[in-house]
Chain A
Amino acid sequence: MDSVRILLRLLRSRVRSQLAYPTSFALDALGQAIAQANELAVILIVFAQVDSLGGFSREEVLLLYGLAGISFGLADLAVGQLDELPRWIRTGELDVLLARPLGVLSQLVTSDLQLRRLGRAGVGVLVLAAVLAYGQVEPTPVNVLLVLVTPLVGATITASVWVMTCSISFWVVEGRELANAFTYGSTLTTAYPITVFGPWLRRLFCYAVPSAFVAYFPTLALLDRPDPLGLPHALRYAAPLVAVAAVLVAALVWRTAVRRYQGAGS
């Protein structure tokens, strides 16, 4: 708990230094929101041509998009700093972190807190609110809980996948592009119904990279519709379990990666 307090203090100092330049902060946040809204525009344009996508209507896809957007924004806010990992390794600054009495991952993710990333989550919240107001989802207690929990669970899954893929930098210092395919590429895989993908990609997103659990399965539950692919009913409520598993695997991968950097593994 003591460490948590120290890390929060580190974060506060980061946030303070950002808010020292309010205009630049506001523009950055706006830029992130526009980037997210671009994807929204793509969905709207597609639905101007077709009535359904992989068996889902426009409002249903937007629900998916909203949940995925919030998850992505929160995950980006939490562990987006790992983008900088190759630089930390290349310049040897990682050694400075290892010489401190704190965990390396917690120091890395708190090395900056880019509040502008809230811009992305913000667009997600707006879209989600609009879809809910449109009356797509029955306001049952389970659904209310699901709407509140899904973005957090989704963010946890997304963040775990990022930690795993960023670990590759310990093996291949310039592995950033590969990592980015999973990090920034994940918006694509989470924001669309998995039914639009071919069977192999579906299996990949379902079981290997669990992006289908970020938004797709919870959305099926919210819409109370059967899975068009006939996947087990229980999967739609399994996201929290998947999140726990993802965190455990990510922790293991990260630990192995840091050990490798220190040379214990090789």
Chain B
Amino acid sequence: MTAVVRTEGLRREFTVGRRCARRRIVAVSDVDLQIEPGEAVGFLGPNGAGKSTTIKMLTGILVPTAGRLRVCDLDPTRQRRELARRLGVVFGQRSQLWWDLPLRESFDLLGAIHRVPGAEHRARLERCVDVLELGPFLDVAVRQLSLGQRMRGEVTAALLHGPQLLVLDEPTVGLDLVSKERLRTFLQEVNVVDGMTILLTTHDLPDVERLCRRVVVIDHGRVVADDAIDALRARSGGAREVVVELAEPAAPLTGIAGVSEVRVEADGVRQRLAFAPSDTTAAALIAAVAERVELRDVTVVEPSIEDLVRTLYAQN
């Protein structure tokens, strides 16, 4: 099987500014990316790093300034419409549904646009309705749906034509925890059970942890890391933190095995203990703290993607 996505030296420049102050900025530069069938790849990076630009090039919306690009064995620039039939795209911020039509009718129209045979359409829709629990609002106009309901509709809309590659741009942005979790479970199933290739951009690290085994990090338009997620985390030394709230002020909780740094806040009532997941676990650490002082509250803070990316970028 050939790669679903293959780019070599992908580059995109934009001209910005008004006439007198016109300049070229490089949004994406020298991106070499290969995604095999069945992979689930998290595409990470801070705002403005070039994630969306890359995704737009992969989907044929933008034309690369330079470089080679094949998606689903097609040239996105010249075969945009053909490619559209093999891609499912979800833009978290934009809707592909018709706001004034019931969800069901939007699905029917999309089925027609993609020329999906009736039986196939019904089977795929039935499954999404089932797993994503769309039933109760299938006949409600899209404009009346909650964000969580709409996103479930968007994902369904992207899957109805049975795409080879599902591209999700910030699919969980703005969703509540329950909706996020439901969506992640479904996407995981689509990836693992159906073997659908998934490319996901997000700011939400748990999205990536649940869905992706591989992560591509992009910053200032360049790929700064492309590796298995665990390897990446180890390499970046991305410290997690246990934040403990104490019943009464205490001296800094130093000397606990595996803790790399202790920061004291609020006169010693709140303390932040940083640790590397390879050295100890959050549970062991909390137990050790509980032996020494009385705890009121505990939270575990994951390194944010921004931190992870910043560490990675500093290393390069």
The contact string, 1 if C-beta is below 8 Å from chain A, for chain B 61-95, is 11101000000000001001110110101010111
Q: Is A99 within 8 A of B96, CB to CB? A: yes
- Give the distance to chain A from B297, nearest Cβ to Cβ, in Å: 42
| Interface status of A224 (Cβ within 8 A of chain B) | no
| A contact residues, range | 20 to 34
B150 at the interface (CB under 8 A from A): no
Residue B93 contacts which of A9, A92, A102 (CB distance < 8 angstroms)? A92
Of B63, B85, B98, which one neighbours A264 at CB under 8 angstroms?
B63
Assess the A101–B65 pair: CB atoms within 8 A: no
Say if the beta carbon of B51 comes within 8 Å of chain A. no
8 A Cβ contacts from B238-281 to A: none
> Does B149 touch A at the CB level, under 8 Å?
no
Summed over the interface, the residue pairs from A and B with CB atoms below 8 Å come to a total of 65
- Smallest beta-carbon distance A41→chain B, Å: 35
> Measured between alpha carbons, how far is A263 from B66 in the docked complex, in Å?
11
B89 and A101 contact, CB distance less than 8 A: no
Residues of B within 8 A of A103 (CB): 81
Which residues of B have CB within 8 Å of A2? 115
Q: Are B62 and A99 in contact, with the CB atoms below 8 A?
A: no
On whether the beta carbons of A99 and B59 are closer than 8 Å, the reply is yes
Determine if B113 and A95 form an interchain contact, defined as CB atoms under 8 angstroms apart.
no
User: CB distance B15 to A266 under 8 Å?
Assistant: yes
- A223 in the interface, Cβ–Cβ < 8 Å? no
Determine the distance from Cα of A101 to Cα of B114 in the docked complex, in whole angstroms.
7
- Complex Cα distance, B95 from A92, in Å, reads 10
Say whether B62 contacts A262, CB under 8 Å: yes
In the complex with contacts A95-B94, A96-B96, A262-B63 CB distance below 8 A: yes
In the complex, which residues of chain A have a beta carbon less than 8 angstroms from the beta carbon of B14?
A: 263
Q: Is the CB of A101 within 8 A of B96?
A: no
Residues B80 and A263 in contact, CB atoms below 8 Å apart: no
A98 touches B105 (CB 8 A): no
Judge whether A10 and B109 touch: CB under 8 Å: yes
Contacts of B180 in A (CB 8 A): none
- In B85-141, the 8 Å CB interface with A consists of 85, 87, 89, 91, 93-96, 98, 100-101, 105, 109, 112-115
Residues in chain A near residue B63, CB distance under 8 A: 259, 262-264
Q: How far is the CB of A260 from chain B (nearest CB, A)?
A: 10
* Chain A residues with CB under 8 A of B98: 13
Would you give 30 A-B contacts (Cβ < 8 Å), ordered by A? A2-B115, A6-B112, A6-B113, A10-B109, A10-B113, A13-B105, A13-B109, A17-B100, A17-B101, A92-B93, A92-B94, A93-B94, A93-B95, A95-B94, A96-B91, A96-B95, A98-B60, A99-B59, A99-B61, A99-B84, A100-B84, A100-B113, A101-B82, A101-B84, A259-B63, A262-B61, A262-B62, A263-B14, A264-B63, A266-B15
